[in-house]
Amino acid sequence: MTTASTDRVHQYQRWQGTLGKTHWTWPAIVVSGINLSLRHSKTRILLLTSGMPALTAVGVFYITSLLESVVGTEEARGMYDFLNALLHIDIRGISQLAEFRDVLWRSTFLMMARLQMIWVLIVVARVGTGVIANDLKARALPIYFAKPVTPATYLLGKWAVVAFFVALVTLVPSHAAFALGIALTGGPGTWAQVFTLAVDLTASGALVCVVSAAVILALSSITSDQRYVTVAWVAICLLPAFAQAIISESLPADSRMGWLGCISLRDDIVIVIEYLLRIRQGLAATSMPAERFAQALGSPVDPSKAALVLGALTVAAIVFSWRRVVRFSRTAATV
């Protein structure tokens, strides 16, 4: 006679295979996050439209290459005006335009980066604001932490989801514009002149991905209400930019060169990108007169201060979101 026992004990199955390493659970979070975001048609449309700055850049490259062949003629006047309006670089009267190719390309990518910040703002608001907030709302964290997911892998997975989408609107269009530009404007000769730009573009795109994804993770871990995260994100992007504009209007140029010139997240990113693209060094190496040089780029702002602000903000955001997630994981363990 067997002893009384329940069916459940008999039928309980244990996993017999080998379990994967704990720290490799984050790609699953990334894939799931990306798939979830891509299900929304608005996100897909947003990603498609992010190619617009890149198309503008390709147009500029094409016009520059045309300009090299018609320089000094009547036809060139309209092209000069167009470039001046777009890049704020007055290259009229300069006969050796090939010398400017590298710096024109770099200025074009700076203009493109400025435009891309609009897409970064929107895409992060769309896919980033809910990354942790929605999990908090759906009380999904106990489910995550009941699996072999640690706070670090969770955070890394969530960060990578946002970084992926930011890369889709910054890195990918930039490199696509770079490749298209080379293909349209002469091939190997141009490549030889501007190839280092590819590395600078990667660094610039990575900067935007790292900073924006870290900041939104911190904001998203504050509340379970995605709406407020969106409002906070938009406020963080726009209010300091307004403040920066008011400061620029109210104060003389030299007094805003220091820390006062670094209060806007968006402006700080652009300042560091300008440094990474090495436009000032590029222009200094050309024969452009100093006054036009200043007109093209404005007064120099110390990039080390902007970089320090961005670095401090990123570290603070990571530490903050880390502490929040660790707290959630402990709460989950006691539920």
Binding site for another protein (CB under 8 A): 1-2, 4, 223, 226-228, 230-232, 234-235, 239, 242-243, 246-247, 249-252, 255-256, 260
- CA atoms in the 13 A half-sphere facing the CB of 257: 9
The minimum distance between CB 295 and another protein, in angstroms, equals 25
Q: Choose between 235 and 285: whose C-beta lies nearer to another protein.
A: 235
Q: Choose between 22 and 248: whose C-beta lies nearer to another protein.
A: 248
The minimum distance between CB 233 and another protein, in angstroms, equals 12
Q: Which tokens belong to 88?
A: 């704020």
Q: Choose between 87 and 121: whose C-beta lies nearer to another protein.
A: 121
Identify the residue whose tokens are 């201060």: 305
User: Contact at 8 Å (CB) between 130 and 226?
Assistant: yes
Q: Choose between 181 and 261: whose C-beta lies nearer to another protein.
A: 261
Q: Choose between 24 and 242: whose C-beta lies nearer to another protein.
A: 242
The minimum distance between CB 252 and another protein, in angstroms, equals 7
Cβ neighbours of residue 199 closer than 8 Å, sequence gap 6 or more: none
d(CA 169, CA 188): 27
The minimum distance between CB 162 and another protein, in angstroms, equals 19
Identify the residue whose tokens are 């730009």: 197
User: Contact at 8 Å (CB) between 201 and 175?
Assistant: yes
Integer CA distances (angstroms), 228 to 46, 126, 162, 223, in order: 21, 13, 18, 8
Q: Choose between 206 and 238: whose C-beta lies nearer to another protein.
A: 238
User: Contact at 8 Å (CB) between 257 and 299?
Assistant: yes
The minimum distance between CB 225 and another protein, in angstroms, equals 8
Residue 4 dihedral angles phi and psi, to the nearest 5°? -65, 130
The minimum distance between CB 55 and another protein, in angstroms, equals 25
